[in-house]
Amino acid sequence: MSQLAERIVSGDARAAARAMRDVDDRIPGYLDLLKEIFPSTGRATVVGVTGNPGAGKSTLTDRLIDAYRKQGKKVGVICVDPTSPYSGGAILGDRIRMTRHASDAGVFIRSVATRGHLGGLSRSARDMVRVLDAYGCDVVIVETVGVGQDELEVTRTAHSTLVVMAPGLGDEVQAIKAGILETADVFAVNKADRDGADSTVRDLELMVALGSEALVASGKRRGHVVHGGVKVDVVPTAEDAGAKGEIWMPPILKCVATRGEGIQELVAALDRHAAWLSGTTTGRARRHLRLAEEVRESLRETLIDAATSALASELDDAVAQVEARALDPYTATERLLEAFRRR
Amino acid sequence: MSQLAERIVSGDARAAARAMRDVDDRIPGYLDLLKEIFPSTGRATVVGVTGNPGAGKSTLTDRLIDAYRKQGKKVGVICVDPTSPYSGGAILGDRIRMTRHASDAGVFIRSVATRGHLGGLSRSARDMVRVLDAYGCDVVIVETVGVGQDELEVTRTAHSTLVVMAPGLGDEVQAIKAGILETADVFAVNKADRDGADSTVRDLELMVALGSEALVASGKRRGHVVHGGVKVDVVPTAEDAGAKGEIWMPPILKCVATRGEGIQELVAALDRHAAWLSGTTTGRARRHLRLAEEVRESLRETLIDAATSALASELDDAVAQVEARALDPYTATERLLEAFRRR
């Protein structure tokens, strides 16, 4: 094991900070480091926090850090911030509030920004989670700023995803991406002291019911429900399966993060979800599928990198031929693929 | 050439409709069809229309169809609609307005929805544009419903991208994705009879100026500007290059689509942009780069498909080993890549 890997595993914060930077920037050698620390990972619970801008995610994350710290847990936070330079200001302001944890050796906060290429953001986040895991964090919170496609993929790096909503942000539940609803393991209706909180809760209850019960309730004896992006077979009825604890129904909890209200209940719900993941067949199946997704995604990215560097000159030739209409792009692609495999 | 390809090229609308469906659903044989029609493509001008929901894109597209029809042009429209089933209703309503063109044989409108996999939406859109091009459309309009990452990639299939904004949609210019601003070739400030239109225009002017002039104005003798996602070297000053017509400054035009005001000016600006693309070194370089991007993207997708089907059982084994922590995911990926290349 390299010295850096050893220092991370022994809990050296400066080594972890350096490794996070190397991993985020993909400095040569970062893969060797990740390989070395991998056997020391797998103990941390990874919690994703996502939701529309303005829902109060940063304040809530701040409170979650407090709650986990009171349990004596070491906490890592990765803020995923795929925003433009134009809107960076306000978000940085939110982030600054979290610096009050900066003097606490049991809290480690890092930001990760957008990568230029597809899938890069969730890969960076996942690798950074591994560093924090090896470093000894008991809980790693991955907080996303927005709710776009990128952020949706980032939430898949988490074991449990908390979706934060707030009343009064417009037609909240209707407007949120369907993918986010499917990804939610726990819903927090924040700013619950505001008008409209109960109606947001009711809308969410309806959504959850539609998503998970409609299929079986419609008279099918067998069906499936989608939880956390994983299709689960329901045999013979949802009620039976639910009774066995195999189906996770995302709880919907109200809170007021600014006053610290409802935070204990959220942490308890996340703990229950973690127990469901490890204690049920469906939960374990979900963890397996998430890992399979990771390996597939990693293979995709590695393939592309390898092919692009192996085929640089052939690619240029192919483009020139397509431009001259001497070759169509579909045949060009097939030839490039063959050239790559023959090397 | 197959009968279907021949019928498309001879302007048979039913053949084009069937081919669009086959291409969108990737029915086996669709690639052969695309190869056959490719030599008959390259004549259509492809215009992307994008912008925030509520900016009036559909109404504007409707007016653009009218304007191009008055010029005697055959028009194709592809509506890219990556929305959830939850919000589909309102958008369908917008679309229905366009059906008034349904009885016009010179207008061909099709919708394309989200694909489950990365990059799939822009690939479908691009292939459908090719069908409409071979079918004889002079102009193909690709309209996106939203402004997310998917839609951003779709705009790259267009020669010229029109970004539609409207005053009174909140902090419009600040909120829009930076990527959209860089992708814009022409800006339309729609609903220009409303309060705040002039301020939206001024904000956009500032953005455009910041994006394209700041670098050289800051005292650098050499720099670059980003236009349509393509980096252009500026030597020695932006003013000189601008005088030679090499730099495209996105014009900002006001319009009121519901009353048909300002549409002629938009069409004229799009025509000027098409002339710039074919008549300048920078314009031609951009077309070349876009084509190179397409071939790369196509190679990526083909690689992934080929590897996933070739490695199905190895992938399962690798995941099981990673899950047992007998293997790290990074080494697993490297081994899978080698296995794929050795076949």
The chain A residue lying nearest B340, using CA atoms, is A341
Distance between B102 CA and the closest CA of chain A, angstroms: 30
Of A221 and B323, the one with more pLDDT: B323
Helix axes B329-342, A281-310, angle to 10 degrees: 50
The answer to whether residue B137 is domain-embedded is: yes
The answer to whether residue A315 is domain-embedded is: no
The chain B residue lying nearest A340, using CA atoms, is B341
- Is ipTM strictly over 0.90? no
Chain B hits for A85, CB-CB cut-off 8 Å, are 178
Whole-angstrom Cα Rg for chain B: 22
Least confident of A253-267, B101-115, B184-198: B101-115
| Structure confidence at residue A243 (pLDDT) | 58
Contact A84, B173 (CB under 8 A): no
pLDDT band at A234, cuts 50/70/90?
very low
Chain B hits for A150, CB-CB cut-off 8 Å, are 149
| Structure confidence at residue A214 (pLDDT) | 45
Q: Beta partners for A110?
A: A78
Which of A134-138, A287-291, B50-54, B219-223 reaches the highest mean pLDDT? A134-138
pLDDT more than 70, % of chain A:
76
Indicate the pTM of the whole model. Answer: 0.67
The answer to whether residue A181 is domain-embedded is: yes
The chain B residue lying nearest A308, using CA atoms, is B296
The chain A residue lying nearest B89, using CA atoms, is A174
Q: A159: helix, coil or strand?
A: coil
CA distances from B172 to B80, B169, B186, B254 (A): 22, 6, 16, 15
Distance between B294 CA and the closest CA of chain A, angstroms: 8
Beta strand B45-50 with B160-165: parallel, antiparallel or unpaired?
parallel
Chain B hits for A316, CB-CB cut-off 8 Å, are 292
Q: A3: helix, coil or strand?
A: helix
**How far out from the chain centre does Cα A55 lie?**
17
Domain total of chain B: 1
Is the predicted pLDDT of residue A203 greater than 70, yes or no? yes
Q: The CATH number of the domain where B139 resides is what?
A: 3.40.50.300
Is the predicted pLDDT of residue A85 greater than 80, yes or no? no
pLDDT band at A312, cuts 50/70/90?
confident
pLDDT band at B89, cuts 50/70/90?
very low
Of chain B, the end-to-end C-alpha distance in Å amounts to 33
The answer to whether residue B285 is domain-embedded is: yes
Range of the domain at B115: 41-310
pLDDT more than 90, % of chain A:
44
Q: Say whether A333 and B118 touch across the interface (CB within 8 A).
A: no
| Structure confidence at residue B240 (pLDDT) | 53
The chain B residue lying nearest A41, using CA atoms, is B325
Chain B hits for A295, CB-CB cut-off 8 Å, are 315, 318-319, 322, 329, 332-333, 336
The answer to whether residue A139 is domain-embedded is: yes
| Structure confidence at residue B96 (pLDDT) | 52
Q: Which residue has the tokens 């393991």?
A: A185
Q: Say whether B303 and A304 touch across the interface (CB within 8 A).
A: yes
Q: A82: helix, coil or strand?
A: coil
The predicted-structure confidence for B173-200, as pLDDT tens digits, reads as follows 554 555 666 788 999 999 999 998 998 8
- Closest partner residue to B302 (CB to CB) among A178, A298, A333 is A333
pLDDT band at B336, cuts 50/70/90?
very high
Is the predicted pLDDT of residue A27 greater than 90, yes or no? no
The predicted-structure confidence for B58-83, as pLDDT tens digits, reads as follows 899 999 999 999 999 999 999 887 65
- Closest partner residue to B330 (CB to CB) among A34, A325, A329 is A34
Q: Say whether B334 and A302 touch across the interface (CB within 8 A).
A: yes
pLDDT band at B343, cuts 50/70/90?
confident
Of A217 and B24, the one with more pLDDT: B24
pLDDT band at B300, cuts 50/70/90?
confident
pLDDT more than 70, % of chain B:
76
Contact A283, A276 (CB under 8 A): yes
| Structure confidence at residue B82 (pLDDT) | 60
Interface test with B, best of A289, A330, A340 (most B CBs within 10 A): A330
The mean predicted confidence, pLDDT, of chain A is 81
The answer to whether residue B333 is domain-embedded is: no
CA distances from A209 to A72, A178, A184, A225 (A): 36, 14, 13, 11
- Closest partner residue to A178 (CB to CB) among B84, B308, B340 is B84
d(CA B294, CA B46): 15
Q: Which two tokens stand for residue A156?
A: 């898949």
Per residue, the 3-state secondary structure of chain B, as one string, reads CCHHHHHHHCCCHHHHHHHHHHHHHCCCCHHHHHHHHHHHCCCCEEEEEECCCCCCHHHHHHHHHHHHHHCCCCEEEEEEECCCHHHHHHHHHHHHHHHHHCCCCCEEEEEEECCCCCCHHHHHHHHHHHHHHHHCCCEEEEEECCCCHHHHHHHCCCCEEEEEECCCCCCHHHHCCHHHHHHCCEEEECCCCCCCHHHHHHHHHHHHHHHHHHHHHCCCCCEEEEECCEEEEECCCHHHHHHCCCCCCCCEEECEHHHCECHHHHHHHHHHHHHHHHHCHHHHHHHHHHHHHHHHHHHHHHHHHHHHHHCHHHHHHHHHHHHCCCCCHHHHHHHHHHHHHHC
The answer to whether residue A229 is domain-embedded is: yes
Chain B hits for A291, CB-CB cut-off 8 Å, are 319, 322-323, 329
Average pLDDT of the residues in A111-121: 58
A56 phi-psi bin (left φ>0, alpha ψ -120 to 50, beta other): left
d(CA B279, CA B103): 36
The answer to whether residue A316 is domain-embedded is: no
Interface size A-B, in CB pairs within 8 Å, comes to 139
Q: Which two tokens stand for residue B81?
A: 């609609």
| Structure confidence at residue A97 (pLDDT) | 52
pLDDT band at A293, cuts 50/70/90?
confident
| Structure confidence at residue B85 (pLDDT) | 40
Chain A hits for B178, CB-CB cut-off 8 Å, are 84-86
| Structure confidence at residue A217 (pLDDT) | 44
| Structure confidence at residue B12 (pLDDT) | 95
Q: How many residues in total does chain A contain?
A: 343
